[in-house]
């Protein structure tokens, strides 16, 4: 009996909140701020979407490499709980540019320090590719998505171990950088 009373009390509270919030004129967006980035290399299976740790000793070609990018999005303001208010996610300090840099030349067109994201594809589901501008506009700054995937579309010039890092520029001209990772990048033989 006590459980039934508790359920009824909670139901009454939620109904009151629903009536109260439906009277509000203003819908609040969910506001977040990205403060860190990370990435980790994974090996793509040739026949499925499963990923395993990337091991340099396997000496796999670049087209088997997929990076998992993590962008924690701590929330500072939650959206208005109201059927008339859509859940809208917005980055308080927008990421205006995102680069992936290497300490070595990738190929003749992309020397050390160049933005390797220009020759990469993004995905949020490991299947459908999106451009860098779509990724920044629709996912980094305006969604609850915190994990993305990155693959290279062009081969490196030669077998070499690269130190790679993500660099993000924010709207207030600050920089967010991931840690450097060492990765063997190898063309297809």
- Report which DSSP code applies to 139: I
Q: What is the pLDDT of residue 25?
A: 56
Residue 165 has pLDDT above 90, yes or no: yes
Please give the distance of CA 30 from its chain centroid, rounded to a whole number: 17
- Report which DSSP code applies to 160: E
Residue 175 has pLDDT above 80, yes or no: yes
The whole-model pTM stands at 0.78
């Amino acid at each position: 009996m006590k459980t039934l009373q508790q359920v009824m009390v909670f139901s009454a509270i939620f109904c009151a909140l629903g009536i109260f919030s439906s009277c509000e004129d203003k819908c609040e967006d969910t506001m977040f701020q990205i403060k860190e980035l990370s990435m980790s290399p994974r090996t793509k299976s040739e026949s499925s979407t499963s990923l395993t740790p990337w091991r340099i000793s396997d000496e796999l070609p670049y087209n088997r490499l997929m990076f998992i990018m993590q962008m924690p999005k701590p929330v500072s303001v939650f959206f208005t709980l109201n059927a008339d208010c859509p859940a809208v996610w917005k980055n308080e300090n927008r990421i205006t540019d995102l680069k992936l840099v290497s300490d070595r030349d990738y190929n003749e067109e992309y020397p050390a320090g160049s933005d390797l994201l220009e020759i990469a594809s993004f995905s949020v589901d490991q299947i459908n590719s999106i451009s860098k501008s779509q990724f920044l506009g629709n996912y980094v700054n305006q969604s609850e998505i915190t994990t993305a995937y990155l693959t290279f579309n062009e081969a490196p010039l030669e077998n070499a171990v690269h130190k790679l890092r993500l660099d993000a520029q924010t709207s207030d001209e600050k920089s967010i950088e991931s840690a450097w990772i060492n990765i063997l990048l190898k063309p297809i033989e």
